[in-house]
Amino acid sequence: MEKGGEQKLKATADALKNLALDDFTWHRKSAEEVEKAFNSNMSVGLTSKQADQIREKAGLNELEKEEEPSIWEKIKEQFEDLLVRILLLAATISFVIAITGDGDGGLTEYVEPFVILLILIANAIVSIYQDMNADKALEALKDMQAVESKVLRDGKWSV
């Protein structure tokens, strides 16, 4: 699972708990049952007033725009992983040992903590790059979504 995905998964699970199963059974009902439930008529469609009332009650038929995290939030997210924190601790301990050591090793004592840090930084860069590409792909899919539909209002078809 991607980093930070646990929070998104929890938010989705919480949202699903609040939904009633009846909201997902329209495909099982006959056309007449749906007409009756929405107080509509398939030959005339909804009246403009009915459509406005439904829109007021249920909201617009569109996907909500998610607030995109800033680059700093994405960087911070990369370092919230437990394994990354353990590696940061290991690099810190190795660096402290190199500083407080007898100094016989010279610069070679500092190689280990710097290599660990470089690996963590490279990992963060690659993860952020992949995350940004995934976000772009998702936006492209959203842009492909139809923004208009044909509806029957007051007996007339309109877009």
What is the dihedral angle through the alpha carbons of 138, 82, 74, 65, rounded to the nearest 10 degrees?
A: 40
23, 38, 61 - which closes a domain: 61
Query: By the 8 A CB rule, do 77 and 69 touch?
Result: yes
Confidence tier at 133 by pLDDT (50, 70, 90): very high
In the numeric block, the tokens 């899919």 are attached to: 141
Residue 28 token pair: 């099982």
Bridge partners (DSSP) of residue 46 are: 153
Does one domain contain both 78 and 143? Answer: yes
pTM: 0.56
Query: Does 1 map to a domain?
Result: no
In the numeric block, the tokens 């078809």 are attached to: 157
Does one domain contain both 38 and 69? Answer: no
Does one domain contain both 129 and 81? Answer: yes
Query: By the 8 A CB rule, do 91 and 113 touch?
Result: yes
Instruction: Taking residues 100-121, report their average pLDDT.
Output: 86
Task: Give residues with Cβ within 8 angstroms of 157, minimum separation 6.
Answer: 150, 151
Please state, in angstroms and rounded to a whole number, the distance separating the CA atoms of residues 93 and 85.
12
Does one domain contain both 86 and 73? Answer: yes
> Which of 124 and 1 is assigned the larger pLDDT?
124
Confidence tier at 82 by pLDDT (50, 70, 90): very high
Query: Does 86 map to a domain?
Result: yes
Does one domain contain both 20 and 33? Answer: yes
Task: Give residues with Cβ within 8 angstroms of 112, minimum separation 6.
Answer: 91, 94, 98
Query: Does 154 map to a domain?
Result: no
Q: How many C-beta neighbours within 10 Å does residue 126 have?
A: 11
Bridge partners (DSSP) of residue 153 are: 46, 156
Q: What range defines the domain where residue 24 resides?
A: 10-61
Domain count along the chain? 2
